[in-house]
Amino acid sequence: MLCLALVSAGSTAITAGAATHVPGVTATQVTIGATVPLTGIASFGYNEVAKAANAVFKYVNGKGGINGRKIRYILKDDCYGTPGFGCTGTPSTPSQTRALLSVPVFATVGSLGTPTQDSVRTLLRSNGVPQLFVNSGSLDWDNPTAYPGLFGWQTSYNEEGKIFAKYINATYPSANVCFLGQGDDFGTDGLAGLVDGGLTPTVTDLYSVTSMVLTNGASIEPYIASFQSNKCTVVVLDTIPGATDYALGSALALGYTPQWVISSVGSDPYSVYTPLEGKGLTTDPEIGAISFSFLPTPTSNSPWIAWMMKVLEADHADFPTFTSTSTMDGNMEYGIGWGVAFVEALKAAGRNFTRASFLKVMTSTTFSQTPALLPLRYSSNDHQGLNGGYLTKVITDAEVAPINGKIYVTDSTPGGAVTSATKLSTGIPSWLK
């Protein structure tokens, strides 16, 4: 019964001032939701992402909303679909997604994780509910024929791998390279990007997140010991922050100091160093590591940085201790990035929209007024999202900086070239200031 109601309503036109025919939309409010790991195995750091996006929505609501409507954002804790490990939510993404459908929500926006979001693609499609800005760099989100309402956001793991390959080959041409990646699309897509970019690691390993947590990181140690014995001078990590932490800690214990190249997913200095600091370390072993960012770095002079700080500081509910002197970490910035993108799409959709017309806006809007370094590249046949960014270096236990100021751009097609571009996104629009 729910499915029929949502599907039929999804194509109904909205008359001015009466939006009751579109689920999640009233004359004064748009209700959206997401399933995210607020607690449990993947919560550290990642539990800030959707909250930071919500800070954007609260800020916009305080200015009167978008096109006369305020945004209501409902977060459901799915614990990354994994029970235990401190989970206090419901470790089932499908059941939590059904709970959002029953609200109902206009769309899911910013839900996190590849396996979790893959598990609800068909459910959301059959109910006519857009699945927007999935927090994952998987290639699974770029399938507009099968899933027309599904959109990614961040630069894909594959594209990031290609950009890393170009930099490593140019900067360390005789390096012996090893690779450790997560045992899912994160690791396999990233490795495929390295290889497609012309870099084949000497040693390749994939780790299990569950084993890592159950062993308190001990399962990571043999991989690092193997890299040391194989005399790898450059190590590429496609790891979440917890795995990055264990890898760096293991190397430190072994006296092993390769050049680290770490995916943007797991390189945020604050998220990586905080657990190490808790173990008594006084020097961050991540300093000097190479990483990647599709957003302006917090130390840059981008006007977006000051705006982000203002937005976070104003959200006393989700960030009660955040002040003008606090550190804005990468997870906060990430959430603000796609939060602004959703606001831009909502503004472009106008006062009267349906789910169908909103999806058309997604593929026709330039998205040039968001914090991202590049516009989103959505089209009728491309729903991936961003396709490039800066190479960065970790300079302190809380900061990164661009290496050369170049913005590298590529795509996920086999043999796709890596080129450099100038910043194409513009500044903060006047209506958002």
130-173 pLDDT, tens digit each: 999 999 999 999 999 999 999 999 999 999 999 999 999 999 99
Same domain, 409 and 268: yes
Same domain, 85 and 169: no
Same domain, 276 and 408: yes
The rounded distance, in Å, linking the Cα atoms of 172 and 175 is: 5
Q: 412 pLDDT band (50/70/90 cuts)?
A: confident
Domain membership of residue 54 (yes or no) is yes
Asked if residue 16 lies in contact with residue 3, where contact means CB atoms within 8 angstroms, the answer is no
Residue 333 has pLDDT above 50, yes or no: yes
Domain membership of residue 402 (yes or no) is yes
Q: 13 pLDDT band (50/70/90 cuts)?
A: very low
The rounded distance, in Å, linking the Cα atoms of 347 and 327 is: 30
- Specify the residue for token string 């999806």: 359
Q: Quick one: average pLDDT of 174-190?
A: 96
Same domain, 163 and 273: yes
Same domain, 162 and 149: no
The CATH number of residue 185's host domain is 3.40.50.2300
Cβ-count burial of 56 within 10 angstroms (0-12 exposed, 13-18 middle, 19+ buried)? buried
Domain membership of residue 149 (yes or no) is yes
Same domain, 177 and 285: yes
Catalogue the E-assigned strands of 284-423.
290-293, 388-394, 400-402, 407-409, 419-421
Number of domains in the chain: 2
Q: Nearest CA to 386 among 403, 408, 401, 360?
A: 408
Q: 396 pLDDT band (50/70/90 cuts)?
A: confident
Same domain, 119 and 41: yes
Domain membership of residue 411 (yes or no) is yes
Same domain, 325 and 238: no
Same domain, 319 and 226: no
Domain membership of residue 432 (yes or no) is no
Same domain, 32 and 53: yes
Q: Nearest CA to 30 among 358, 374, 431?
A: 358
Number of H helices, E strands in the chain: 14, 13
Same domain, 403 and 379: no
Residue 320 has pLDDT above 70, yes or no: yes
Asked if residue 368 lies in contact with residue 426, where contact means CB atoms within 8 angstroms, the answer is yes
Asked if residue 104 lies in contact with residue 23, where contact means CB atoms within 8 angstroms, the answer is yes
Asked if residue 286 lies in contact with residue 249, where contact means CB atoms within 8 angstroms, the answer is no
Domain membership of residue 233 (yes or no) is yes
> Where in the sequence is the domain holding 149, given as residue range(s)?
2-154+301-385
Same domain, 63 and 81: yes
